[in-house]
Amino acid sequence: MDRRTFLGLMATVAAPALAQPKDIITQAEFQSILMKKLKKDYNGRLQVLGEPAPGILRLKRLDSSGSEPLLLLEPFYAQALRVQANPQEFMEDRLNPLVVGLPGPPVLDKDLLMPRLFAQEQFRRLWPSDNRPSSTALHPRLCWTVVVDQPLVLWAVGPREERTWGMSETEVQQLALENLARRTDIPFLVAGERQGVWVLNRGDGYDAERMLVVDLLQALRAQAESPLTLVAPSHNWLVVARDTGAEVRARLTQVSSRIQQTEPSQNLPVLLFNFDQRLEVSTP
């Protein structure tokens, strides 16, 4: 990666968002209003079991014995900002359908099964040992599991879901990987090379997870005619570079630091991987 390519790559990473005007409700204020509404209007129907990570609430419908979904506050809050809605009115319109739509386990729609990367520490916090979904470790700090792809609620596929659906863990994982591969336009992405660097920032929330799409990595490897170094600093970014040298690793680490300033809630551990015949942790 020459200096010009590196500077161009840095320029593609947006600067951190400016502070919001003071008259716009903050996410913390939005969450406070939401918690009060859940306790007032849904007492006896819905229980908030806790906040296992910032901006994520664990919910349980009291009339259901199924899994406990995680409500993702950031996209819920972002929707309110987009429509410039009064928070109370917005929740009246959106919250009841959301709560009603919390069966357990979710109805199986095979097309919605997707792989999802997690920092190992966050994964353990989000799901207690009871019905913890299975996961595959890529690194001591990074793993992936299967989720049901929904915009506001995160359903992880655990043993209860697999038993209900009559599917094995392996079958669920394979379906998820196949779904992600179908959503990945490999020829388009391969053609996006800029002097030996590929930047995946498609905006669907699964760019980092595309490091699991073996056909994509093989196509990039063939185009590069050399082993690859890749880093996935955020769910919305995957950066792949030709070569595995120390300079490439250093610059990808620097780019990752810049990326992580733009969307902190989407960040993943900054870990470098190599791909030649298979995906491996990069070592100096």
User: Which pLDDT does position 65 carry in this prediction?
Assistant: 59
Q: What is the pLDDT of residues 2-45, one digit of tens each?
A: 666 666 666 666 555 544 444 577 888 888 888 888 888 887 77
Please give the tally of structural domains in the chain.
3
My answer on whether 191 and 152 are in the same domain is no
My answer on whether 240 and 166 are in the same domain is no
In-domain check, residue 2: no
**Domain end (from 83, 104, 125):** 104
**Domain end (from 55, 86, 104):** 104
Q: Which domain holds residue 145?
A: 107-182
CA angle 59, 233, 142 (to 5 degrees): 60
Local confidence band at 222 (pLDDT 50, 70, 90 cut-offs): very high
Q: What is the pLDDT of residues 241-261, one digit of tens each?
A: 998 889 999 999 999 999 998
Give the per-residue SS3 of the chain: CCHHHHHHHHHHCCCCCCCCCCCCCCHHHHHHHHHHHHHHHCCCCEEEEEEEECCEEEEEECCCCCCCCEEEHHHHHHHHHHCCCCHHHHHHHHHHHHHHCCCCCCCCCHHHEEEEEEEHHHHHHHCCCCCCCCCEEEECCEEEEEEECCCCEEEECCHHHHHHHCCCHHHHHHHHHHHHHHCCCHHHHHCCCCCCEEEECCCCCCCHHHHHCHHHHHHHHHHHCCCEEEEEEECCEEEEEECCCHHHHHHHHHHHHHHCCCCHHHECCCCEEEECCCEEECCC
My answer on whether 120 and 202 are in the same domain is no
Higher-scoring residue by pLDDT: 77, 115: 115
**Domain end (from 182, 203, 231):** 182
User: Which pLDDT does position 157 carry in this prediction?
Assistant: 85
